[in-house]
């Protein structure tokens, strides 16, 4: 409908008296918005105000001329001018009802767009180093990242999901020492246990499996333990593989699968870090000072220059990040989105500065970032901080076991990523209308129940006469259904999957209100078929929206 109205406005604008001004020079980027107040119509355009300056005319006068020049349309019931010159369109019942057959024709593709045009987009998320079970912060990153991937696919992008982690460095050294200590019977409270070691029960589980010479298989690696408590390298590789396997199990339970796993260590072994450093030196944007190598990141908006190679040797952490993103660029990703914790904020300017310094054609705002804030877990009105198995934090597995995958995914993705999140376990478990997951899924199940009671041929609904749909709740539901493609597009533009969650709550509310106000299986056959078609279309949109969040659409509850 927006496309139809846009075409009508474009035709009208080109027919205006422009007093010698070329019509081709007029700003015809026509915008149509849905007014917040339903009394102001179904769509509103500010085109008259956009044309006021170049035409040197009063916008209300331009609006009147546009309305007179608009071609006739059976989809418009009336048009009015509001405020300084807004043109408000009120759609005819036929136009409002047309969305039902559109949904029936497109099915699971309804709401999808081709904005991305099949171009390559990579989304990196979770990217947790294998030093322990995934915590709720990783869970939020997993939920937001996977929902983003689904959303961008719905907007026509060719999406690759990537997991990047470090299998070396200080954290992995501490992991190795911790497992080795447990292999030798040293308990976490003993003086000989590594001071910076990991003390959760999972370390004992790894040690037991290592001593038993087990083989672990993760999505991106396989390793067999030697069983020798003095074999540090074997312990290191086994512990990493063991925890990577654990991460895989958690992610599978969370309905998430990655296409690519990347290792930070590989950037050193394959020479990518060194070649990137040499390219930066050749760019003339580095300098030596205090026996360290610096990058002039201030040339690209940083508050101070940054050390690349430390005085004592070794590169600072942002250097392999730059090398890693050079690799992403060379793999052909025209867009890259990194979903990470808010603690990564300081790396954004440095990574982008390094990429710009290379001058290899990378856009200034590449990569893009979505940073999520912390999660506070509550139960019984009190904060939950400790998982026995992890030792110091609540794990993702804890939440999934407590409330299930659907509720966990929804609650972690249902708020803006950059806002603090309180995860209320009691609410997520509740089977009441206060629980948004239950409320939305129950709307879908209710529709399934009515359609089962009807027990008619679904195919007959594709040709149902929709003109009987005149009730207030039917009009509200039709309007909400027609908004879904716009919500999907806007959520993709804003990288905001929480918009889908909000839309689904509103759609479920409209359905429940309709269900409580009207009878569906009425004696009037035409009215009954029209209502069956409407709720079946609603069922499809609920299912499409839940799919974007990775949440199931149950038929019974």
pLDDT tens by residue, 284-328:
999 999 999 999 999 998 999 999 999 988 899 899 999 999 999
Mean pLDDT computed over 465-484: 95
CATH code of 77's domain: 3.30.1360.70
Cα–Cα distance, 186 to 194 (Å, whole number): 10
Cα–Cα distance, 43 to 96 (Å, whole number): 12
**Mean pLDDT over each residue of the chain, to the nearest integer:** 93
Question: Would residue 458 count as lying in a domain?
Answer: yes
Mean pLDDT computed over 400-410: 96
Instruction: Give the pLDDT score at 55.
Output: 83
Question: Would residue 233 count as lying in a domain?
Answer: no
Q: How confident is the model at residue 25 (pLDDT cuts 50, 70, 90)?
A: low
Instruction: Tally the residues of the chain.
Output: 557
Question: Would residue 165 count as lying in a domain?
Answer: no
Tell me, letter by letter, the H, E, C secondary structure of 461-481: HHHCCCCCCCCHHHHHHHHHH
251: left (phi over 0), alpha (psi -120 to 50) or beta: alpha
Pair of tokens at residue 315: 């590169």
Say whether pLDDT at 138 is over 60.
yes
pTM, full prediction: 0.91
- Cα 326 to Cα 69, 234, 235, 347, 506: the distances in Å are 53, 32, 32, 15, 42
Pair of tokens at residue 166: 């470090």
- Structural domain tally of the chain? 2
Tally of CB atoms within 10 A around 376: 15
- Name the residue with tokens 């086994």: 238
Mean pLDDT computed over 427-438: 96
Strands, E, within 408-476: which ranges?
A: 421-424
Instruction: Give the pLDDT score at 20.
Output: 63
Instruction: Give the pLDDT score at 163.
Output: 97
For 244-291, the DSSP string reads: HHHHHHHHHHTT---SEEEEHHHHHHTTHHHHHHHHHHHTT-EEEETT
Question: Would residue 454 count as lying in a domain?
Answer: yes
Lowest-pLDDT range of 73-87, 116-130, 135-149, 509-523: 73-87
Say whether pLDDT at 42 is over 60.
yes
Question: Would residue 229 count as lying in a domain?
Answer: no
Question: Which structural domain range is residue 72 located in?
Answer: 2-91
Mean pLDDT computed over 183-200: 94
Q: How confident is the model at residue 2 (pLDDT cuts 50, 70, 90)?
A: confident
Domain boundary among 39, 72, 91: 91
pLDDT digits (tens, 9 = 90+) for 507-523: 999 999 999 999 999 99
Mean pLDDT computed over 182-204: 94
Strands, E, within 399-454: which ranges?
A: 421-424
Cα–Cα distance, 42 to 73 (Å, whole number): 15
Beta carbons of 296 and 285 less than 8 angstroms apart: yes
Question: Would residue 273 count as lying in a domain?
Answer: no
Say whether pLDDT at 23 is over 70.
no
**Listing from the earlier edge strand, what are the strands of the sheet with 32-33?**
32-33, 43-45, 86-91, 76-82
């Amino acid at each position: 409908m927006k496309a139809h109205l846009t075409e009508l406005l474009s035709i009208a604008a080109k027919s205006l008296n422009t007093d010698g001004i070329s019509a081709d020079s007029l700003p015809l980027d026509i915008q149509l918005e849905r007014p917040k107040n339903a009394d102001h119509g179904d769509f509103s355009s500010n085109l008259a105000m956009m044309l006021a300056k170049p035409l040197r005319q009063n916008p209300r006068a331009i609006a009147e001329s546009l309305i007179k020049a608009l071609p006739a349309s059976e989809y418009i019931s009336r048009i009015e001018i509001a405020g300084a010159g807004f043109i408000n369109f009120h759609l005819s019942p036929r136009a409002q009802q047309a969305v039902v057959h559109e949904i029936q024709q497109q099915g699971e593709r309804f709401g999808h767009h081709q904005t991305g045009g099949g171009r390559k987009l990579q989304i990196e998320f979770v990217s947790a180093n294998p030093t322990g079970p995934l915590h709720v912060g990783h869970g939020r990153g997993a939920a937001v990242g996977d929902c983003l991937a689904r959303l961008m696919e719905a907007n026509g992008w060719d999406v690759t999901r990537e997991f990047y982690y470090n299998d070396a460095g200080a954290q992995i050294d501490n992991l190795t020492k911790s497992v080795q200590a447990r292999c030798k019977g040293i308990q976490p409270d003993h003086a000989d246990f590594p001071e910076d070691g990991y003390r959760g029960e999972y370390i004992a589980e790894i040690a037991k499996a290592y001593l038993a010479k087990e083989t672990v298989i993760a999505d991106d690696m396989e390793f067999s333990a030697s069983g020798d408590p003095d074999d540090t390298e074997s312990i290191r590789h086994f512990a990493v593989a063991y925890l990577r396997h654990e991460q895989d199990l958690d992610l599978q339970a969370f309905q998430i699968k990655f296409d690519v796993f990347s290792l930070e260590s590989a950037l050193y072994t394959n020479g990518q870090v060194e070649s990137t450093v040499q390219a930066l030196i050749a760019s003339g944007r580095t300098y030596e000072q205090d026996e360290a190598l610096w990058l002039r990141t201030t040339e690209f908006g940083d508050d101070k220059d940054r050390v690349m190679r430390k005085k004592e040797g070794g590169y600072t952490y942002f250097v392999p990040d730059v090398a890693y993103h050079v690799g992403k660029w060379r793999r052909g990703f025209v867009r890259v989105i990194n979903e990470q914790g808010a603690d990564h904020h300081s790396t954004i300017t440095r990574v982008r500065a390094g990429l710009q310094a290379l001058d290899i054609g990378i856009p200034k705002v590449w990569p893009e970032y979505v940073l999520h804030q912390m999660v506070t877990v509550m139960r019984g009105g009190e904060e939950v901080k400790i998982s026995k198995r992890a030792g110091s934090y609540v794990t993702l597995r804890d939440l999934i076991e407590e409330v299930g995958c659907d509720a966990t995914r929804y609650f972690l993705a249902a708020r803006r990523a950059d806002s603090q999140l309180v995860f209320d376990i009691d609410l997520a478990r509740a089977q009441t209308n206060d629980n948004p997951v239950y409320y939305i899924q129950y709307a879908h199940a209710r529709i399934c129940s009515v359609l089962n009671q009807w027990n008619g041929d679904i195919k007959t609904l594709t040709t149902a006469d929709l003109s009987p749909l005149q009730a207030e709740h039917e009009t509200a539901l039709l309007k909400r259904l027609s908004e879904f493609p716009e919500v999907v597009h806007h959520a993709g533009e804003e990288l905001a999957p929480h918009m889908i969650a909000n839309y689904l709550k509103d759609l479920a509310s409209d359905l429940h209100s309709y269900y409580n106000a009207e009878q569906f299986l009425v004696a009037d056959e035409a009215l009954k078929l029209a209502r069956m078609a409407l709720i079946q279309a609603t069922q499809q949109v609920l299912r499409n929206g839940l799919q974007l969040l990775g949440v199931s659409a149950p038929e019974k509850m």
